Amino acid sequence: MSNEGNSSSPAPTRQSPQLSPATLRRSQGNPGSAEIDASEDETLPFSTEDVDQSREYRPVATKSEPPCPEDINRPRNNNLGPPTILTDVAVVIFPVAVIVFVIMLWRLDGARVGDKLGAWQNAVIILATLFPILFASIIGRLMFQVARWKLEKGASLVTLEQLIGSRTVGSTLFTIFQFRTTNALAGVLLVVWVFSPLGAQAFLRALDSKHQAEYQPVNVTYLDNLGPSSFYGSSWPNAPGDSLYRIRFGSLATKYVLLVTAPKATKIDRVDLWGNVRIPFLDPKATAWQNVSTNPDEVQYSSLVGIPVAYPGTGNVSFTMESSYINLELQETRRFLVQTSDSGDAANITSNLFSKTPIPNGTWHGYPPDRGDRGPLYQWAIAVDRFIDDVWDEGLENESPSSQMRSRSVLGSPSMFTNETDIIVRPSRILLQLLLPLTGIRRSNILDVVFRISQKYVESQVDCWHSSGRQKCKVVAQRPSKIPHAPEQISELSFPSVVKLLSNQMPAASAREVGGFVDPSIYYLKDPNFEKVDSKTEVDIEDLDPLVLSVRFGQLLNTYAALGHVPDSPTNISSLEPNTTTIQDSSTFSEVFVISEPWIIICLFSSLVLLVGGILSIVFVHLTCGPEILGYVSTTVRSSRFIELDPKTVWLDSSDLSKEIKAMRIQYGFTMDGSVAGERAVAIGRQENQRPFKSPATVG
């Protein structure tokens, strides 16, 4: 029955049914109640007449209670409980550990990596993954405790919503947009939370590595090929039957043939078979530094043998080297074919010069292919038409062997003319005479090729390093030498004693006579890499291109001449005389840690924000007196007037309260307040006393 109307007579009453302790009452004026038309009373589980309206609502905490009562109803100080203390310790220890890690990471800058790079990279990745989680845990706790403290002191609802809603980066942004808050607190929260993703990214970008050179001075020693050749003078016996003569020239011939017949990969390499650096031909038009091509097929080396270089240690060294080589310029080519019967017009080579018989310049001096009635007939020969005057060699051959060795340090090399003036110098020429026999015919075609001789002086930039336990070097740039030298017309071949041994022994190095297999030197002129040797071993006169002979024969000539500088061992640097020693910086490349200073500063600042947040969270935890009630479902039970709780739970934190009543089933829906007949309340109550919003009785 409804209570509406102005009748003064009291409404009839009846005995109220027995209510359980869990039955909830609503006080008058409750803002959460919703009045519903009396016509819908039949949808309620019971009527207002069933409610004892004489009973009044007794709140759990009354205004007469003190803020922090010290009575038996408060079993403990929650702020000093073990979980709180352990959490307080953790929110300080973890940020301090992160700061220590950042400092250790910063100190790695410039340190050698060794085998530690992988471990540090893994540690950084793990920390970058955990940092946002740790940041959300500590700063989220700070936001919660500040909201709790503000609630006890009194604060606007929007402030509490901002604080309690700022537990992560995403929730902070969502709360700001949800409540349209553009106050200072929103700015502070954004600034604080931006260090969560920024700190994680900073960790990932702070650590790197690079290869860095460490320098120390070392002595670099290399063979000075500007000095005299060992062919000069009479330091080697002249008698062909002498054993020492045979041993030395036999060793030289073996090395020469080995270099000439080496595979292509060796011939185009930057070093020779023994690791000695090879000097490329310098561009005749070069006046300044020119880089050497990195494509090995494009580089023409002046010799098949290189210059020995040695230095202590295994570091990298860059230095400049002075060297020279014989340069040939093609002048003329003459062919004398068997069919034309004009082979008698071929150049006449005489060896009379070496017997001191006066022979004028302009005639060819050397050893001819035919070495006499009892001698072999070699497949090729060389001769030179101009030499220095005998006055430069006067008295040398009459000296003792020890005196000859001392004289050789200043004689027998073009460098002896460096400081000479008023010298009349005319260009010298060298003749290459080839005997190319026809198949089935004992007579041979003859090819005479004449080259102009000059001595080129170059300065080379050399880089050396160690790889797989071996020293490797390469020429990276070249330019014409800038120091004084003798005129280019004076070369190693300007000395009669040098030409004597070279013209005698170089064609005989492979000991190939006419009628036998083709000489490797002649085949080199046709095919330097011996790539077609399987298809055709003979060399016809048409197979030789005069345009490339100056380069290929120049390489052969410089190879044999260079071996004359180092007749014993191309690798024993201590036996090389003369040599040049220069002090250079040796660089050892090692991998070092690189720490990005901007990113590591962000890492440190983010960690400090984390530490400050942890300390402040401890402060605000212990500034509060009341229990934790924000952010828990049990808070709705605590504040609901439709659920009675044990008075002893008044000081429990919401987390502890949830544990106490975890079995209670609650529901948000329609409930009934008996204080006003015909009214139904929308509130949270025990499930058995609630009616859901969408029950069949209320739909439609």
Residue 14: its pLDDT value, please?
Answer: 39
Residue 77: its pLDDT value, please?
Answer: 54
The whole-number average pLDDT for the span 634-657 is 74
Tokens 């002979």, located at residue: 549
Which helix (H) or strand (E) segment is 470 a member of? strand 470-480
Residue 441: its pLDDT value, please?
Answer: 56
Of residues 633 and 617, which shows the higher confidence score?
Answer: 617
Of the listed ranges 230-234, 262-266, 568-572, the least confidently predicted one is 568-572
Closest CA to 302 of 681, 667, 560: 560
Burial class (CB in 10 A: 0-12, 13-18, 19+), 412: buried
pLDDT bin (cut points 50, 70, 90) of residue 104 is very high
Of the listed ranges 305-319, 458-472, 627-641, the least confidently predicted one is 627-641
Tokens 């040797």, located at residue: 533
As given in the structure block, the two tokens for residue 289 are 């530094």
The whole-number average pLDDT for the span 659-663 is 79
Please check the confidence at residue 596 and state whether its pLDDT lies above 80.
yes
Residue 480: its pLDDT value, please?
Answer: 95
pLDDT in tens, 173-230: 988 888 888 889 999 999 999 999 999 999 999 999 988 877 788 888 888 888 777 7
Of the listed ranges 92-106, 251-265, 384-398, the least confidently predicted one is 384-398
Residue 324, beta-bridge partner list = 457
Residue 33: its pLDDT value, please?
Answer: 39
Closest CA to 323 of 471, 494, 492: 492
Please check the confidence at residue 27 and state whether its pLDDT lies above 50.
no
Tokens 């020995």, located at residue: 308
The whole-number average pLDDT for the span 80-104 is 93
Residue/partner pairs of 287-296 with CB below 8 Å, 24 or more apart: 287/479, 287/480, 288/479, 289/461, 289/477, 289/478, 289/479, 290/477, 290/478, 290/479, 291/476, 291/477, 292/474, 292/475, 292/476, 292/477, 292/478, 296/268, 296/269, 296/270
Q: Where are the domains of the chain?
A: 33-67+638-689, 79-209+593-623, 225-577
Closest CA to 75 of 646, 675, 696: 646
Residue 47: its pLDDT value, please?
Answer: 40
Alpha carbons 457 and 461: distance in angstroms, whole number: 14
Alpha carbons 396 and 110: distance in angstroms, whole number: 61
Identity (one letter) of the amino acid at 66? P
The whole-number average pLDDT for the span 432-453 is 80
Interior/surface letters 5-39, b for 16+ CB within 10 angstroms, e for the rest = eeeeeeeeeeeeeebeeebbbbeeebeebeebeee
Tokens 């000097």, located at residue: 279
Closest CA to 300 of 483, 551, 529, 44: 551
DSSP E strands, 561-637: 579-595
Alpha carbons 675 and 610: distance in angstroms, whole number: 53
Helix (H, G, I), strand (E, B) or coil at 349: strand
560 dihedral zone (left: phi>0; alpha: psi -120 to 50; beta): alpha
Residue 230: its pLDDT value, please?
Answer: 72
CA distances from 426 to 388, 489, 491, 500, 578 (A): 10, 7, 11, 20, 28
Alpha carbons 491 and 289: distance in angstroms, whole number: 24
pLDDT bin (cut points 50, 70, 90) of residue 542 is confident
As given in the structure block, the two tokens for residue 234 are 């009479």
Alpha carbons 434 and 137: distance in angstroms, whole number: 92
Residue 573: its pLDDT value, please?
Answer: 58
Of the listed ranges 41-55, 57-71, 224-238, 370-384, the least confidently predicted one is 41-55
Alpha carbons 524 and 557: distance in angstroms, whole number: 12
Residue 575: its pLDDT value, please?
Answer: 56
Please check the confidence at residue 482 and state whether its pLDDT lies above 90.
yes
Of residues 360 and 598, which shows the higher confidence score?
Answer: 598
Residue 571: its pLDDT value, please?
Answer: 56
Q: CB–CB of 466/411 below 8 Å? A: no
480 dihedral zone (left: phi>0; alpha: psi -120 to 50; beta): beta
Please check the confidence at residue 691 and state whether its pLDDT lies above 80.
no
Q: CB–CB of 91/138 below 8 Å? A: yes
> If you average pLDDT over every residue of the chain, what do you get?
77
Residue 28: its pLDDT value, please?
Answer: 37
Which helix (H) or strand (E) segment is 151 a member of? helix 117-153
As given in the structure block, the two tokens for residue 478 are 């070249």
Residue 469: its pLDDT value, please?
Answer: 79
Residue 570: its pLDDT value, please?
Answer: 55
Interior/surface letters 564-580, b for 16+ CB within 10 angstroms, e for the rest = bbbbeebeebeebeebb
Q: 533: which residues sit within 8 A by CB, 6+ positions away?
A: 523, 527
pLDDT in tens, 124-157: 999 999 999 999 999 999 998 898 888 888 888 8
pLDDT bin (cut points 50, 70, 90) of residue 339 is low
Identity (one letter) of the amino acid at 367? Y
The whole-number average pLDDT for the span 533-553 is 80
Residue 65: its pLDDT value, please?
Answer: 47
Closest CA to 668 of 649, 691, 645: 691
Interior/surface letters 511-530, b for 16+ CB within 10 angstroms, e for the rest = ebbbeeebbbbbbbbbebeb
Residue 244: its pLDDT value, please?
Answer: 64
Helix (H, G, I), strand (E, B) or coil at 480: strand
Please check the confidence at residue 11 and state whether its pLDDT lies above 60.
no
Helices 243-260 and 546-565, packing angle to 10 deg: 140
Percent of the chain with pLDDT over 90: 31
